[in-house]
Every structure is written in C-alpha cells, then in structure tokens.
Amino acid sequence: MTILRRSGLFLVAILVLVACQPAGSGSSASGGAGGNPDDMLAKIKAAGKIRVATDPAYPPQSKLLPDGTYEGFDIDVANMIGAKLGVKVEFITPDFAEVEAGGWADRWDISVGSMTITEPRTKVLDFTVPYYFTPAQMGATTASGITTLEGLAGKTVCVGESTTYQFWLEGTLKLLGGVPEPAPVPAGAKVTTFSTDSECADAIAAGRNDFEGWLTSSTTLAGAIAEGAKFVKVGDPVFYEALGVATDKSAATHTELQAELDKIIKGLHEDGSLTASSKKWFDGVDLTKTQ
C-alpha cells in the first residue's frame, strides 16, 4: 500500500521513540506475577477480569453487535491481552472524551480504543508501545463535489469529539516527536463533532447536509465507502499517528500492570498475532508494521 510504504521511515522513528520513553507512573520493571498486592495487576487477576474501555461504533476497530458481543481489531487486541493475563474481558463504552481526559475514577482499568499517543495525553494517561499505526484521511461528501483538501476551505468538517482529528482542525495537535509536520488545515475550515467518528457517515446517510468533510482514519473511511457511504477520499493523509493501550495516571498503583501490558504488546508484535488480526480487519493490510 503506497501510503504505508511512504510512511515507513518515520513510523519506525515513532515506534523507537515511544518504546524508549518512560511510560509515566507505570514504567518500571515488569511485575507479571503481580508481586505487589496493591498494584492493579494483582487486583485484576484476583477479580478474574479486566475492564476495557472501547468504542461501540468504530468499525473495523470496534463494533457492538445486536447480540451484545463486540468485534473488530481493537476487540481482538483487548481479548489477547485478557488471554495473556488469564482473565476475562469486560467491555465498557464511555464517550471517547471521558477516556481521553483521564480521571477514570476506577470505572474501567485500561483503554483499547485506538487512542493516538500525543503530548497532552501523556500528562494524564500512561501508554504502552504502539500496537498499530494509522494515517488520518480526509473525505468529502459526494454531494459537495469537493476533490481536494484545499477545496474544504471555509467548509465544515465532521470529526469525533476530542480526537486528534478535531485537534488538527483546531490547530492544537501535538503528536510525539519523530513525525513530519501535519498538512496545513484548509483556510477557515469549521468543525462539527459527534461522540464517535462513524456517526459522521451515519448523519449523511440520514439526510444531514450541514457539513462537507469527514476526517477519520484511512481504514474507517475506506470501510465506510465500501459499504456505500456517500463520501470520496480527498488527497493524501493529513497526518500519521501511533496508537497505544492506555491506563490512567491518577489510578491506584499500576506500575506492574503497565509493565505487563508493554510486555504483552511487544510479544504480540513478535509472535505475529497483531499482524494476523490487522490483516483480518483491514483487508489484508498490516498496520502494525512500519513498512
């Protein structure tokens, strides 16, 4: 895939930088056995379950099915983490803005919700090394006739609330080092938000016509178009992002949990489990690789 090949070199830099950075309060040596009874790792194992925050409507990463089960790439990752820890997974679906803000107040243990590792977020959240990478891709409604990024100047773009897509449009996006500067924001572009990205496509399908653009991941846009969403891809990706599993800095002691999560993600990269899941959900594309 051309996009992924072109992004290879700087995504290597992302992985190296993030892997080498301290993970905040959860960055010390692994405590896989749960040696500290006060650490979240020991408490999760004692409870026999891990509570995972994710998005109920963000296919192919995650989707709540009519029967109450979940499917998608993020769901696979969460279930693999649960299996490695030897516990069941309980999915919880708060608004993304609640997860991104930190201060979870013990409502869930970790987030596996395609969250980009950004400088502001590391002030309230701890992240593992990335488990995959995605390009942020602009789309335009077919009714708008827009075919270039510049064509969205003065127009309204729909995004998920408190996402990197919103931050880019508002000029506040601060990704971790090692990535090139994002593309310039179309002059005078305005923002409208929903609680999750996919609601932008749903709104157009329902007859809304108060926005012309939709900024989301390349995989989400491609999947929506393939299913008949009335959008077209516009230009090249506007920026690239590395995504990690998150824990709450303000939570109880979680040094051992954070170290174990890092160990698990690295192991899932090494044994090919993440690659297999990525190819399953992203039409044969391996977004866990930097090539």
Read off the pLDDT of residues 100-153 as tens digits, 9 standing for 90 and up: 999 999 999 999 999 988 889 999 999 999 999 888 999 999 999 999 999 999
Q: Is the pLDDT of residue 48 over 50?
A: yes
| 175-to-18, 47, 56 alpha-carbon distances in Å | 11, 35, 25
Q: Which fold has domain 135-239?
A: D-Maltodextrin-Binding Protein; domain 2 (3.40.190)
pTM above 0.75, yes or no: no
Domain ranges of the chain: 2-132+242-281, 135-239
Residue 11: what pLDDT? 42
Q: DSSP of 225-289, one letter per residue?
A: HHTT-SEEE-SS-SEEEEEEEEEETTSSP-HHHHHHHHHHHHHHHHTTHHHHHHHHHTTT--TTS
Residue 35: what pLDDT? 82
For 224-239, how does the pLDDT look when each residue is reduced to its tens digit (9 = 90+)? Answer: 999 999 999 999 999 9
What's the CATH architecture for 2-132+242-281? 3-Layer(aba) Sandwich (3.40)
Residue 45: what pLDDT? 97
Q: Lowest mean pLDDT of 86-90, 91-95, 181-185, name the range.
A: 181-185
In this structure, the strands spanning 213-217 and 156-160 are parallel
Q: Is the pLDDT of residue 289 over 90?
A: no
Provide the mean pLDDT of the chain.
87
Q: Do the two domains 2-132+242-281 and 135-239 of this chain adopt the same fold?
A: yes
Question: Does residue 71 or residue 9 have the better pLDDT?
Answer: 71
Q: Is the pLDDT of residue 38 over 70?
A: yes
Q: Which two tokens stand for residue 173?
A: 């996006």
